[in-house]
Amino acid sequence: MSFIHRITATLSVLTALLSSQSASAIMNGIEVSPQDAAARHIVGIVIVQANGGAGICTGTLLGNNLVMTAAHCAPEGARLFVVFDRVIADHMNPALTRPVDKVAISPSWQMNQNNRRNTGDIALIRYVGPTPARFQPLPVLPFDRQRVLRPGNLVILAGYGRSSVADNQKDGSGVLRQVSTRLAPKGFSMTELLVEHTDGRGACNGDSGGPAVVFLGGQPYVWGVTSRGIPTCDQGAVYTNATLYQSWIQTTSQEMTRP
């Protein structure tokens, strides 16, 4: 059976699973168009659990077939698929879907995932197959540029998660959306930052692993990885500060792409 045929057979099962999920896109955001930068840098991640359940996360392209996402988006024993499409729940195009063959979880997550702060919720995954031509990697914000992560500064969030906390249906599920909001007035922890949701805009279920982006000189940089929040999604979301994991990202990327 060819690669495309194997993917097609798998996707028929995944589409049915995802269509039955109640978790639905970035709250009060706008749908990403093909011309938006987010459409070139951000991918969907479909998770198939060992028990047959399925879920959606979000990831950011780093190049060399690597995607940065949240550690909790790569549970042990699950199969992962990277999807290069702006809509992934109701129809999954096999030509835009790639299976994941390698996963690297931050050592901090393995030790601290049950803590309230500094959980190290970050991971890298590697997919098999070519990257669609229009997609490009998004650089991680350099450590020495962290001055832009000041309280109140504007950030862009993106993901495939819920569009509203009142939305108990699957309307909008698996649609890539983006929104602008601000860093919270107060810090959260040494390795995490809190993003404001008090104006009704922010991340929710399904946006996990997705990027928080800032612009410097017109160049977008990913600095954060969506980690967690409260179920109502209206008090803010905690983001892993990826700039503090630069050394781990670089070392792990080299290991994962070594022939």
**pLDDT, tens digit, for every residue of 189-226?**
999 999 986 665 667 666 899 999 999 988 999 999 99
3-22+41-137+246-257: in CATH 2.40.10.10: yes
pTM of the model: 0.87
d(CA 220, CA 205): 24
Is 65:73 a contact under the CB 8 Å cutoff? no
Helix, strand or coil for residue 94? helix
d(CA 224, CA 188): 13
Whether residue 133 is predicted with pLDDT greater than 50 in this model: the reply is yes
CATH number of this structure's domain 143-243: 2.40.10.10
Of the pLDDT bands very low, low, confident and very high (cuts 50, 70, 90), residue 28 is: low
Average pLDDT over residues 81-91: 85
Taking alpha carbons only, the member of 218, 202, 223 closest to residue 147 is 223
Where does CATH 2.40.10.10 sit in the chain? 3-22+41-137+246-257, 143-243
